[in-house]
Amino acid sequence: MDAIECIMTRSSVRKFKPDTVPPEEIREIVRAAQWSPSYKNCQPWQVLAVSGNRKNELTAMLLKLLEEKAPTTPDLPTPHEWPEPQKTRIRDHMEKRSALAGFDLNAPESVIRSQKANFRFYGAPCGLFITHDSSLGPWSVLDAGMFIQSLMLAAYTRGLATVPQAFLTDYSRQIKTFLGVPETNRLLLGISLGFAADPPESMPPRSERVPLEEVLKFID
């Protein structure tokens, strides 16, 4: 698989087999992702991999917080308002996903169902949490984004599936305490990692991309 094919065929998976991911596999994909570019080679990212009983305990804690309606504590602000054309793209995407699911994904009960599925890591045997020092500026968030993409692509080339999960940052303060992450660190993203439960041909259609002309402009 070449790089272009890897980028264009990777997709987010939300149903995993329980099969354990060998620690050496995790080491290999993180080792590959370390070659991502970063501002002046500062390499600001850190990765915590949680699995087994500790992952189950983390899931139980998050579900309890959700049941108790505990206030969320994300380290990155949750976006609530979007400008055009992003607002329309998000609306269209959610309408199509709702039609495929057979129910309104924006309904409160659907959001709670989605949160619970996220907190269970969609059945994946391993959860990855990406953090960096909270004193770092916006450039380091950009660096972390490039690292995360590299990590997911590296996993895909090794037959592993991933899904990036903003919901896994809802209770950042409690998660950092549970994982022993210093309060001075920022929790950027959670990622479920494992083996896809369904073959690619049985998965829902991939989300669409806007026409290239809306993204690329040549200045001659």
Give the mean model confidence (pLDDT) for residues 57-76: 97
Provide the pLDDT for residue 201.
67
Give the mean model confidence (pLDDT) for residues 61-89: 94
In a domain? residue 160:
yes
pLDDT for 94-150, tens place per residue? 999 899 889 999 899 999 999 999 999 999 999 999 999 999 999 999 999 999 999
Nearest to 207 by CA among 122, 113, 99: 99
Q: Are 169 and 191 in contact (CB under 8 A)?
A: no
Q: Work out the mean pLDDT of the chain and round it to a whole number.
A: 95
In a domain? residue 26:
yes
In a domain? residue 101:
no
Tokens 């949680």 locate to 50
Residue 29 sits in a domain of what CATH number?
3.40.109.10
**CA-CA distance, 198 to 188, in Å (whole number)?**
28
pLDDT for 191-209, tens place per residue? 999 999 987 766 777 888 9
Confidence of residue 93 (pLDDT cuts 50, 70, 90): very high
In a domain? residue 159:
yes
Task: Name the strands in the sheet holding 46-51, side by side, starting at the edge strand that comes first in the sequence.
Answer: 46-51, 126-133, 185-194, 161-165
Nearest to 127 by CA among 178, 76, 68, 186: 178
In a domain? residue 181:
yes
Range of the domain at 34: 3-78+120-126+134-197
Give the mean model confidence (pLDDT) for residues 80-87: 92
Domains contained in the chain, number: 1
Q: Is the pLDDT of residue 176 over 90?
A: yes
Give the mean model confidence (pLDDT) for residues 148-168: 97
In 113-160, where do the E strands start and end?
126-133
Q: What are phi and psi of 164, to 5 degrees?
A: -75, 140
In the chain, where do the E strands start and end?
46-51, 126-133, 161-165, 185-194
In a domain? residue 138:
yes
In a domain? residue 206:
no
In a domain? residue 13:
yes
Q: What are phi and psi of 51, to 5 degrees?
A: -150, 180
